[in-house]
């Protein structure tokens, strides 16, 4: 099951990059199998700025507190990047709920609606402007 989850995550990453490019965003894969902890994607747009995103694919519905999929090293790296002014978040896609949510935690229940993003039709995946706005809003709530 883990292999299929990893494969789905990689497919989602590629689809997100393609979708974000269509929406006028710079989007590239930044993870490196030789450097652990680095976020998967870097996105940016002149009107917004830059955001690093660790993408996780979950088969769960997040009705109770559970792992977001972040490793402790990824969590620490995201925390360190945010403390140094480099906006970074974890974006979890829940297959069961068919939605994304923004977090910076190792474990969480389904976050409040203002941190959830609906998955768009297959060709677009996610709205880049909304992803950035929700992510920065969440980081501001945390004091970054």
- Summarised one tens digit per residue, pLDDT across range 68-125 is 999 999 999 999 999 999 999 999 999 999 999 999 999 999 899 999 999 888 778 9
pLDDT at 3: 65
CATH number (domain holding residue 36): 3.40.1350.10
What's the domain range around 33?
2-141
Question: Across all residues in the chain, what is the average pLDDT?
Answer: 93
The Cα–Cα gap between 136 and 113 comes to: 15
Please check the confidence at residue 39 and state whether its pLDDT lies above 70: yes
């Amino acid at each position: 099951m883990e292999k299929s989850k990893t494969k789905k995550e990689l497919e989602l990453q590629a689809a997100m990059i393609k979708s974000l490019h269509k929406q006028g965003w710079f989007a590239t894969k930044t993870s490196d199998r030789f450097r652990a902890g680095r976020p998967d994607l870097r996105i940016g747009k002149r009107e917004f700025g830059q955001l690093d995103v660790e993408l996780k694919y979950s088969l769960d519905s997040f009705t109770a507190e559970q792992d977001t999929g972040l490793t402790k090293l990824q969590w620490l790296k995201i925390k360190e990047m945010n403390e140094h002014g480099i906006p970074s978040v974890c974006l979890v896609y829940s297959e069961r709920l068919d939605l994304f949510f923004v977090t910076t935690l190792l474990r969480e229940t389904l976050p409040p609606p203002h941190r959830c993003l609906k998955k768009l039709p297959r060709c677009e995946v996610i709205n880049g402007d909304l992803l950035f706005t929700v992510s920065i809003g969440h980081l501001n709530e945390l004091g970054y």
